[in-house]
Amino acid sequence: GYRMVLLAHLHLQLMIKLKFFPRFCFRVGYDVFLGNLRGLVSREHMDKNLSSSKYWKYSVNEHGTKDMPAIIEEIHKIKTSELGSSQNLIGEEMEDQNDDIKNSEIQTSEEDVTKNQPYKLCAVCHSLGGAVMLMYVVTSRIAQKPHRLSRLVLLSPAGFHEDSNVVFSLVEKIILFVGPVLAPLVPGLYIPTRFFRMLLNKLARDFHNYPALGGLVQTLMGYVVGGDSSNWVGVLGLPHYNMDDMPGVSFHVVLHLAQIKRAKRFQMYDYGSTAANMEAYGTPKPLDLGAHYSLIDIPMDLVAGQRDRVISPTMVKKHYKLMRKAGVEVSYNEFEYAHLDFTFSHREELLSYVMSRLALAADAGKGRIKQTTVRLRKPKRVQSEIEKDRAMEYRGADEEIPGEPNGHRK
């Protein structure tokens, strides 16, 4: 079909539990693609001599400027081949976003490319997947390359993290302090051997077989992440946590998130020196993605969880207010969810909401979002804050978008 949806999420918690969502999308006529980010133990690569340190040497930059472009370009090739329209489209190879733009004089605008596509591609992203997709769109626009997207639905997107709990703040300081020394020694955070992966898998089964033990671990995990009530024990029982393959995360990704939290802005990776940053970005400091939201040329739907203690609603609203100031077509909504509830729990209200937003992409005219309206699950409790923020914006008193306290926490 011509309607497609891409599900993007951090590899640590795949959307496997959300089986009903891709299946429902498929039943109503969407082609569904799952775009998970790199992060499995470095085995079975084409290059058998690939070292662990080389494999894990990536940050959120690589997710947004290499992984996501490769995924979307492959989707583009598949669909244009299926629909028989590839000869009528501009199918540039997606290269590293930091490379010089070649043959820019013959490139059409990204808007024209998207308009002429024989398909509509929407993306539903959660957590780090949301930050990666925002980075992909902004850097594609800077490089004047087509991102091929028609709409984004971002569920509790990462990108701003200064409003967080004490544990995350402590981890931030430790990572920033030991990062330069630890990064070469521990390039990736993962379970290294089959034996230890088997041991963790056995523990995960015990958590489910012994409710008291599972409840204790769930409570401890909740305290670690500031009281977030997500089903953390249930996540360990997902199929991709097994003795053969188990996801990990690059230390540079963790360091990148710590840098973002310290800087209080959504920025690209800081290479640690003016010379390195100049080589990568052409500026002494990393590229501020939030400052380039004016380049976003597609509708955005932001969703926050009122019980989310990993990415609080105030941080999602910071994305929202920056986008509004930049003139982006954006809506904001809140559900009474914890962080993993967006992907791990079966909530029909979320399915209904997401499907209603995806349907808007089918008709660009109907999909236009008025900048002065916001769709909210709890209008009386949330609408007043948005209206207050809007009034401050009109008076020009909200230039820095400070992280105001969230009035919905319980």
Q: What is the pLDDT of residue 268?
A: 97
Q: What is the pLDDT of residue 234?
A: 73
For the residues 370-385, what does the mean pLDDT come to? 42
Question: pLDDT band for position 84 (50/70/90)?
Answer: confident
Task: Return the top range by mean pLDDT from 17-21, 340-344, 374-378, 401-405.
Answer: 340-344
For the residues 272-291, what does the mean pLDDT come to? 95
Q: Mind listing the domains of the chain with CATH numbers?
A: 3-160+289-394 (3.40.50.1820)
pLDDT at 153 over 80: yes
Q: 142-151, 209-218, 259-268, 316-325: which range is least confident on average?
A: 209-218
Q: What's the pTM?
A: 0.81
For the residues 259-264, what does the mean pLDDT come to? 96
Q: Do 255 and 59 meet the contact criterion of CB atoms below 8 Å apart? A: yes
Q: What is the pLDDT of residue 346?
A: 66
Question: Rounded to an integer, what distance in angstroms lies between the CA atom of residue 131 and that of residue 253?
Answer: 12
Q: What is the pLDDT of residue 44?
A: 64
Burial class (CB within 10 angstroms; exposed 0-12, middle 13-18, buried 19+) of 84: exposed
Angle CA(235)–CA(236)–CA(237) in degrees, nearest 5?
A: 90
Q: How many CB atoms lie within 10 A of CB 100?
A: 7
Question: Rounded to an integer, what distance in angstroms lies between the CA atom of residue 297 and that of residue 374?
Answer: 19
Q: What is the pLDDT of residue 28?
A: 87
Q: What is the pLDDT of residue 369?
A: 46
Q: To the nearest whole number, what is the mean pLDDT of the chain?
A: 79
- pLDDT digit string, tens, across residues 333-372: 999 988 888 877 667 888 899 999 999 987 654 444 444 3
Question: pLDDT band for position 293 (50/70/90)?
Answer: very high
Q: pLDDT: is 391 or 328 the higher one? A: 328
- pLDDT digit string, tens, across residues 364-375: 544 444 443 344
| Phi, psi (rounded to 5 degrees) for 122 | -110, 155
For the residues 168-175, what does the mean pLDDT come to? 93
Q: What is the pLDDT of residue 408?
A: 40
DSSP states along 13-47: G-GGGGTHHHHHHHHTT-EEEEEEPS-B-S-S-SS
Q: Do 82 and 4 meet the contact criterion of CB atoms below 8 Å apart? A: no
For the residues 124-142, what does the mean pLDDT come to? 95
Token couple for 245: 């393959």
Q: Within 89-144, where are the H helices?
A: 110-116, 128-142
Task: Return the top range by mean pLDDT from 76-85, 220-229, 289-298.
Answer: 289-298
Q: Do 42 and 52 meet the contact criterion of CB atoms below 8 Å apart? A: yes
Q: 3-12, 218-227, 311-320: which range is least confident on average?
A: 3-12
Q: 45-49, 153-157, 290-294: which range is least confident on average?
A: 45-49
Q: 11-15, 42-46, 81-85, 186-190: which range is least confident on average?
A: 11-15
Q: What is the pLDDT of residue 257?
A: 96
